[in-house]
């Protein structure tokens, strides 16, 4: 339907772009499986935990697992477990357990020390084991995450995390849940949507529901990551342009705009890459261009726009083309206070001569007007326009030069005056 | 008595008086001092029936809005709840009653259900344990409310939705009941015409209800000669188009509710001499709009482009009248002038108000956005490019223009094309969902179900034939001195009104083929009148037709009917009734669904 679709498919399938995957399997099943894990972990927060184990799971503060208060209170007690633990276990306090054993003990509510897991590598290993154990025990992951979080706050190591998709998602989910229940609600909503996928929708409707679900999932991840980054204070763009609102629940195009604003130059494998979003949701080329244009113009990133519109043909020549009229492009640029040089460039690309002149005059793109009048070989218009440019400016000089230069062909009816003037 | 209701051919004050009488009777049943707790939704319609003064006459001392929690304290003997029969309101009432019990007050409780009692609601009150606390439980049957001398509305907002989306015919039942009440007061209507499924149902119910009253003949001389029942879905196009009459534009832009409009106050600020101009009013200016106001009655139905001339003409007349004071020399003449002063001052104030309103509207109608929108509407109405994606719509979506504006346009394209080509349909749907949010899929489904925005099933489009046969598009419509109903949309004659017009003359037999292309059956029924009541028509006397729009009617259509009424050779006068007064925006809104969304 969209004439560019074949291009998009080629792009999608070509080897030069890496498909983003969780593990190495890029299929619906593994994606849903991961989500299911994440959601199940969250679910444990909401539902009462059954005390089916003979070992009663208690938090560090002694309250039963599952109560929300225990989470917030426990943070302080992570590194001073000896004050809380039952006396009988004190001898187990400092021990040399493997990550696996450590996790196991934590899940049983027993005392552990995380001190030996110092490097990020170790911490991530712990997290991996926790996830693999996947019984959804929030407390385990919580402490690991607090540990990880304080580590990360001192160094921005998001890239490292990205390669561990699962851990990242757990991390984000758990961490931000503590800060904001709204996020949890969105997760639940997303889960509900996911279950809706099984209802008998028509193919088009089910595609829309699937898109809705995918979008929401993505928004949750982006929101959590960005909130963290903003808080950490190390990512420049968030300091310069603080986020005014959460992107949860925003429409797709709004989300795209947000990513074009904050995540434009990311590689295509990330959740927040605009190109990735474009392909995943099959956004039309026109919509994509309009959105990128608006976002980059707002940031005054003119070179990005240049790159966007420029395409190289197989001969290596570049030319500018656009799925939306350059008239519209100029409109959007002008709304974002683009400087005249930038406006001029795009006004010059408007096909229709009358429209071009009109725009050029409106936006004071003198060169274009002058050149157009020159091409039309119309002295009258040139003369008339001289009054509109600044006295002594380069434009005025240019007009004067043109007016003075001898011209072979004349169109105006006063040409014999000119000849009289010259000779 | 409400002055504006007696102007027309049919004195709707009778209806209003009947309603007032019933209200008085109920109030008197609850003897002693009273406080009324109002369901907010009802205050508007009730305001058209009775003012506070009437209530005061019957010992109503306080009035409150229905809210959960505790009732405000009131030193009265009775507390009466005026509510619609809705379950959620019953819960609130229960809360209120309990709160009073805690106070150990000796107040008597009563409920007045409007427009009908409901078993479900009374059951709910019983479950809550408060049913026995009520002394009087009554229903106040307020179906048709007179809005003007020729206009009745049920203000039943969900009628269209209930009928066409939810297959719920409750509104049709109320309509039939309302028509029975009308006939009780104004006589049996001998002829019933109709077009549409709902029209058929209403007619059937009316006939059945009449049979149930067999034996008691209605002896009132019939005021109405004909009843015409029209389904809204026979003409889905008209409400989508932007209305271009003065009143229509006021409704489109600001919204007229219960005969009132709220306007931005800046232009109405009184500039008094010596007063600081800093005190600009912040409250919106509320204007009452009905035919009691002479100037308004003159200009309301004009095409907006003709209003300016009318206002300036009026200004001259009023100025001249004021100048007359110089000619008043004798005491008698001065006295006469002074006695007319109030009327002249009212006229001047009316002129000032409407000049301001016209200015406000002009700001909108002269804007590029308005013009571009109208251009696209007219392209669709004349059948231009209805099979392609429209660039203006596409651009408007990407600029994130208000969603309802987009929906009106795409629905219009769909209706004028008898459904959109699959590719176009998919494209619009996707663009809308991606730009405004996936949650709107519910709304889009509703619009499809209602027939407003659907994919083309067969490539047969009957609209051009209908347009040609019924002359729906009149090039060169005369806006200043119209000679045809198409002036209300500057070229487009509302389909519903054309059908009404043709029914009167030459009759529907002449358009059988076209009628078959429109949804639903068309029919004619006759109701027996008692002997001796058949009207002997005088020479040149007009017939009266009640046109009932099932699912809503616009002010522009009302203007068109009034135009037909005053046309020289029409021989017909129209009274208009409807389930709801609508415009494109309120209509589409009633079909929108949003899942509970949390604000981020």
> pLDDT digits over A101-129, tens only?
777 776 666 666 666 666 656 666 666 66
Residues of B with Cβ-Cβ distance to A212 under 8 angstroms:
438-439, 441
Cα separation of A208 and A197, whole Å?
10
Q: Which residues of A touch B398 (CB under 8 A)?
A: 253, 286-287, 290
The kind and range of the H/E element at B525 are: strand B522-526
**Residues comprising chain A, all counted:** 423
CA torsion, ordered A144, A147, A148, A151, to nearest 10 deg: -170
What's the average model confidence in pLDDT over A205-232?
A: 84
Lowest-pLDDT range, A40-54, A348-362, B127-141? A40-54
Domain B369-460, CATH homologous superfamily name and number: Sec1/Munc18 (SM) protein, domain 3b (1.25.40.850)
Question: Quick one: closest CA in A to B444, which residue?
Answer: A205
Domain ranges of chain A: 95-200
CA distance B574 to B568: 14
Spell out the residues 6+ positions from residue B186 whose beta carbon is closer than 8 angstroms to its own. B10, B14, B220, B222, B223, B224
The predicted model gives B500-521 an average pLDDT of 95
**What token pair was written down for B598?**
């949390």
- Spatial separation of the C-alpha atoms in residues B50 and B29, rounded to whole Å: 18
Contact between chains at A328 and B431 (C-beta distance less than 8 A): no
- Among candidates B398, B438, B600 on the partner chain, residue whose Cβ is nearest the Cβ of A215: B438
Q: Do B136 and B110 form a contact (C-beta atoms < 8 A)?
A: yes
- Residue range B171-190: average pLDDT? 93
Nearest-by-CA chain B residue for A180: B600
Structure tokens at B571: 């021989």
Contact A323, A294 (CB under 8 A): no
Which is more confidently placed, A118 or B458? B458
- Verify whether the Cβ–Cβ distance A185 to B598 is below 8 Å: yes
Residue B538 in contact with residue B568, Cβ under 8 Å? no
Measuring CA to CA, which residue among B172, B194, B249, B236 is closest to residue B587? B236
Q: Does B128 touch chain A (CB under 8 A)?
A: no
> In which residue ranges of chain B is CATH 3.90.830.10 found?
246-366
* Residue whose tokens read 């809380």: A84
Q: Which residue has the higher pLDDT, B563 or B266?
A: B563
Q: Between A and B, how many residue pairs show a Cβ–Cβ distance under 8 A? A: 58
Q: What's the confidence (pLDDT) of residue A3?
A: 40
Secondary structure of chain A as H, E, C letters = CCCCHHHHHHHHHCCCCCCCCCCCCCCHHHHHHHHHHHHHHHHHHHCCCCCCCCCCCECCCCCECCCHHHHHHHHHHHHCHHHCCCHHHHHHCCCCCCHHHHHHHHHCCCCCCCCCCCCHHHHHHHHHHHHHHCCCCHHHHHHHHHHHHHHHHHCCCHHHHHCCHHHHHHHHHHHHHHHCHHHHHHHHHHHHHHHHCCCCCCHHHHHHHHHHHHHHHHHHHHHHHHHHHHHHCCCHHHHHCCCCCCCCCCCHHHHHHHHHHHCCCCCCCCCCCHHHHHHHCCCCHHHHHHHHHHHHHHCCCHHHHHHHHEEECCCCCEEECCCCCHHHHHHHHHHCCCCHHHHHHHHCCCCCHHHHHHHHHHCCCHHHHHHHHHHHCCHHHHHHHHCCCCCCCHHHHHHHHHHHCCCCCCCCCCHHHHHHHHC
pLDDT tens for residues A68-94?
333 333 322 222 222 333 444 444 444
- CA angle A314-A317-A320, nearest 5°? 105
The residue written with tokens 């008339």 in the block is A384
The C-alpha atoms of residue B128 and residue B411 are separated, in whole angstroms, by 45
Give the pLDDT score at A68: 36
Q: What is the pLDDT of residue B537?
A: 64
Distance of alpha carbon A90 from alpha carbon B67, whole angstroms: 60
Among candidates A284, A302, A262, which has minimal Cα distance to A274? Answer: A262
Quote the distance between the C-alpha of residue A375 and its chain's center.
45
Q: How many CB atoms lie within 10 A of CB B409?
A: 23
CA dihedral over A230, A235, A239, A240, signed as positive or negative? negative
Per-residue buried b or exposed e for B517-528, using 16+ beta carbons within 10 Å of the residue's own CB? ebebebeebebe
Residue of A nearest to B442 (CA): A205
Task: Residue A236: count other Cβ atoms within 10 Å of its Cβ.
Answer: 8
B394 vs A contacts (CB less than 8 Å): 286
Q: Do residues B564 and B485 lie in contact, with contact meaning Cβ atoms separated by under 8 Å? A: yes
Closest CB from B427, B437, B445 relative to A251:
B437
Q: Do A212 and B438 touch (CB under 8 A)?
A: yes
How many percent of chain A have pLDDT more than 90? 10
Paired tokens of B77: 């003997």
- Between A412 and B311, name the one with better pLDDT: B311
Q: What percent of chain B has pLDDT over 70?
A: 95
What CATH number does the domain located at B143-235+462-531+539-599 have?
3.40.50.1910
Among the partner residues A205, A215, A248, nearest to B441 by beta-carbon distance: A205
Q: Tokens for B400? A: 């994130």
- Model confidence at A409: pLDDT above 70: no
pLDDT band at B458 (very low <50, low <70, confident <90, very high): confident
Nearest C-alpha of chain B: how many angstroms from A201? Answer: 12
Tens digit of each residue's pLDDT (9 = 90 or more) over A182-196: 555 565 556 666 666
Q: Confirm if A354 and A338 have CB atoms less than 8 A apart.
A: no
Which whole-number Å values give the CA distances from B356 to B256, B270, B273, B350, B362, in the listed order?
17, 12, 20, 10, 10
Q: A154 pLDDT exceeds 60?
A: no
Read off the pTM.
Answer: 0.76
Task: Examine the pLDDT at B190 and tell me if it is beyond 60.
Answer: yes
Give the architecture (CATH level 2) of B3-142. 3-Layer(aba) Sandwich (3.40)
Rounded to 5°, the CA angle A241-A247-A251 comes to: 125
The answer to whether the Cβ–Cβ distance between A248 and B600 falls below 8 Å is yes
Residue B385: both structure tokens together: 């490019």
Fold category of B246-366 in CATH: Syntaxin Binding Protein 1; Chain A, domain 2 (3.90.830)
**Do B151 and B553 touch, CB atoms closer than 8 A?**
no
Q: How far is CA B484 from CA B381, B474, B564, in A?
A: 17, 9, 8
C-alpha dist (Å) from residue B432 to B404, B439, B453? 11, 10, 13
**Residue numbers in A near B441 (CB within 8 A):** 205, 208-209, 212
How many Cα atoms sit within 13 Å of A72 on the Cβ side? 7
Which residue of A lies nearest to B423 if distances are taken between CA atoms? A1
* Residue B206 buriedness (CB in 10 A; 0-12 / 13-18 / 19+): buried
Tell which B residues from 403 to 442 touch A, by Cβ distance under 8 Å: 423, 426-427, 429, 431, 433-439, 441
Q: Within an 8 Å CB–CB cutoff, is residue B51 touching chain A?
A: no
Q: What value does the mean pLDDT take over residues B356-360?
A: 95
pLDDT for A156 beyond 90: no
Shortest CB distance from A249 goes to which of B429, B434, B600? B600
Higher pLDDT pick, A164 / B356: B356
Q: Which residues of B touch A220 (CB under 8 A)?
A: none
Cβ–Cβ < 8 Å for B318, B341: no
Q: Which residue has the tokens 């001190």?
A: A115
Mean pLDDT of chain B: 90
- Strand residue runs (E) in B125-168: 134-139, 145-148, 151-153
What does the alpha-carbon distance between residue B139 and residue A226 come to, in Å, rounded to a whole number?
58
Chain A residues with beta carbon closer than 8 angstroms to that of B423:
1
Question: Which one, of B477, B458, B552, B572, lies nearest residue B226 by Cα?
Answer: B572
Q: How many CA atoms lie within 13 A of B532 on its CB side?
A: 4
Which residues of chain B have a CB within 8 Å of the CB of A281? Answer: 434
pLDDT: is B216 or B564 the higher one?
B564
Q: Is the pLDDT of residue B324 over 60?
A: yes
Q: Does B600 touch chain A (CB under 8 A)?
A: yes
Q: Label residue B95 by pLDDT band (50, 70, 90).
A: very high
Looking at the complex, does the CB of residue A211 fall below 8 Å from at least one CB of chain B? yes
- pLDDT, position B374: 97
pLDDT for position A5: 42
- The C-alpha atoms of residue B205 and residue B494 are separated, in whole angstroms, by 28
């Amino acid at each position: 339907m969209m004439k560019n679709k074949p291009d998009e498919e080629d792009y999608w399938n070509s080897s030069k772009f890496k498909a983003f995957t969780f593990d190495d399997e890029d299929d619906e099943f593994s994606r849903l499986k991961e989500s299911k894990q994440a959601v199940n972990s969250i679910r444990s927060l909401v539902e009462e935990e059954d005390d089916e184990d003979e070992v009663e799971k208690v938090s560090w503060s002694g309250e039963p697992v599952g109560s929300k208060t225990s989470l917030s209170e426990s943070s302080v007690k992570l590194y001073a477990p000896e004050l809380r633990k039952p006396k009988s276990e004190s001898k187990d306090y400092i021990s040399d357990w493997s990550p696996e054993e450590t996790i196991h003990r934590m899940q049983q509510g027993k005392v552990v020390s995380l001190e030996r897991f110092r490097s990020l590598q170790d911490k991530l290993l712990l997290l991996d084991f926790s996830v693999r154990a996947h019984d959804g025990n929030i407390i385990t992951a919580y402490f690991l995450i607090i540990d990880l979080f304080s580590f990360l706050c001192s160094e921005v190591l998001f890239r490292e995390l990205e390669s561990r998709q699962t851990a990242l998602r757990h991390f984000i989910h758990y961490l931000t849940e503590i800060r904001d229940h709204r996020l949890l609600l969105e997760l639940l909503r997303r889960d509900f949507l996911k279950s809706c996928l099984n209802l008998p929708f028509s193919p088009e409707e089910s595609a829309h529901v699937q898109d809705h679900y995918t979008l929401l999932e993505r928004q949750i991840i982006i929101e959590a990551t960005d909130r963290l980054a903003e808080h950490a204070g190390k990512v420049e763009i968030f300091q310069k342009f603080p986020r005014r609102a959460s992107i949860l629940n925003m429409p797709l195009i709004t989300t795209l705009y947000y990513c074009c604003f904050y995540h434009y130059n990311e590689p295509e494998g990330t959740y927040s890459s605009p190109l990735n979003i474009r392909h995943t949701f099959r956004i039309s080329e026109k919509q994509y261009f309009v959105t990128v244009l608006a976002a980059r113009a707002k940031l005054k990133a003119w070179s990005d726009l240049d790159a966007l519109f420029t395409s190289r043909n197989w001969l290596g020549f570049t030319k500018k083309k656009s799925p939306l009229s350059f008239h519209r492009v100029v409109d959007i640029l002008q709304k974002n206070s683009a400087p005249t040089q930038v406006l001029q460039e795009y006004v010059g690309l408007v096909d229709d001569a009358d429209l071009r002149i009109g725009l050029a005059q409106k936006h004071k793109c003198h060169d274009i007007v002058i050149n157009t009048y020159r091409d039309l070989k119309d002295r009258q218009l040139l003369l008339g326009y001289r009054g509109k440019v600044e006295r002594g400016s380069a434009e005025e000089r240019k007009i004067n030069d043109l007016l003075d230069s001898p011209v072979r062909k004349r169109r105006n009816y006063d040409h014999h005056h000119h000849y009289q003037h010259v000779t | 008595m409400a002055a504006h209701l007696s102007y027309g051919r049919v004195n709707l004050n009778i209806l209003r008086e009947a309603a007032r009488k019933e209200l008085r009777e109920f109030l008197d049943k609850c003897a002693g001092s009273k406080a009324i707790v109002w369901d907010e939704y009802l205050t508007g319609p009730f305001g058209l029936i009775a003012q506070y003064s009437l209530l005061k006459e019957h010992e109503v001392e306080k009035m409150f809005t229905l809210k959960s929690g505790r009732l405000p304290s009131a030193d009265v003997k009775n507390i009466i709840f005026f509510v619609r029969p809705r379950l959620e309101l019953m819960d609130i009432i229960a809360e209120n009653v309990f709160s009073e019990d805690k106070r150990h007050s000796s107040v008597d409780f009563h409920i007045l259900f409007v427009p009908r009692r409901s078993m479900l609601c009374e059951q709910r009150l019983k479950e809550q344990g408060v049913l026995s606390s009520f002394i009087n439980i009554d229903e106040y049957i307020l179906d048709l409310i007179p809005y003007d001398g020729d206009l009745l509305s049920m203000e039943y907002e969900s009628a269209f939705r209930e009928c066409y989306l939810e297959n719920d015919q409750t509104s049709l039942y109320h309509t039939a009941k309302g028509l029975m009440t009308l006939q009780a007061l104004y006589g049996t209507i001998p002829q019933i015409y109709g077009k549409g499924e709902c029209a058929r149902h209403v007619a059937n119910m009316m006939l059945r209800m009449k049979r149930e009253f067999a034996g008691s003949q209605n002896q009132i001389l019939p005021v109405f000669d004909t009843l015409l029942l029209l389904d809204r879905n026979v003409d889905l196009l008209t409400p989508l188009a932007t209305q271009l009459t003065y009143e229509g534009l006021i409704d489109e832009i600001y919204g007229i509710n219960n005969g009132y409009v709220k306007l931005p106050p800046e232009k109405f600020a009184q500039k008094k001499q010596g007063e600081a101009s800093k005190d600009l009013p912040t409250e919106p200016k509320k204007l009452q709009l009905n035919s009691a106001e002479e100037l308004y009655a003159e200009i309301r139905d004009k095409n907006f482009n003709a209003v300016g001339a009318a206002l300036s003409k009026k200004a001259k007349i009023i100025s001249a009248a004021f100048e007359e004071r110089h000619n008043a020399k004798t005491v008698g003449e001065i006295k006469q002038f002074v006695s007319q002063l109030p009327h002249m001052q009212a006229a001047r104030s009316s002129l000032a108000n409407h000049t301001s309103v016209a200015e406000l509207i002009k700001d909108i109608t002269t804007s590029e956005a308005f013009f571009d929108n109208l251009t696209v509407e007219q392209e669709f109405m004349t059948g231009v490019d209805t099979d392609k994606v429209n660039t203006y719509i596409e651009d408007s979506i990407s600029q994130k223009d208000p969603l309802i504006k987009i929906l009106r346009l795409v629905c219009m394209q769909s209706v004028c094309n008898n459904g959109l080509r699959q590719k176009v349909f998919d494209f619009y749907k996707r663009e809308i969902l991606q730009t405004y949010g996936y949650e709107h899929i519910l709304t889009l489904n509703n619009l499809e179900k209602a027939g407003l925005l659907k994919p083309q099933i067969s490539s047969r489009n009957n609209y051009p034939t209908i347009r040609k046969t019924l002359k729906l598009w009149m090039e060169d419509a005369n806006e200043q001195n119209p000679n045809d109903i198409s002036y209300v949309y500057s070229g487009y004659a509302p389909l519903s009104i054309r059908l009404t017009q043709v029914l009167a003359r030459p009759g529907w037999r002449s358009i059988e083929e076209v009628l078959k292309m429109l949804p639903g059956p068309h029919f004619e029924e006759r109701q027996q009148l008692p002997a001796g009541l058949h009207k002997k028509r005088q020479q040149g006397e007009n017939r009266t037709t009640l046109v009932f729009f099932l699912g809503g009617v616009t002010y522009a259509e009302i203007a068109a009917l009034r135009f037909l009424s005053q046309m020289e050779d029409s021989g017909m006068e129209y009274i208009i009734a409807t389930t709801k007064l609508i415009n494109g925006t309120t209509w589409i809104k009633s079909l929108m669904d949003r899942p509970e969304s949390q604000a981020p």
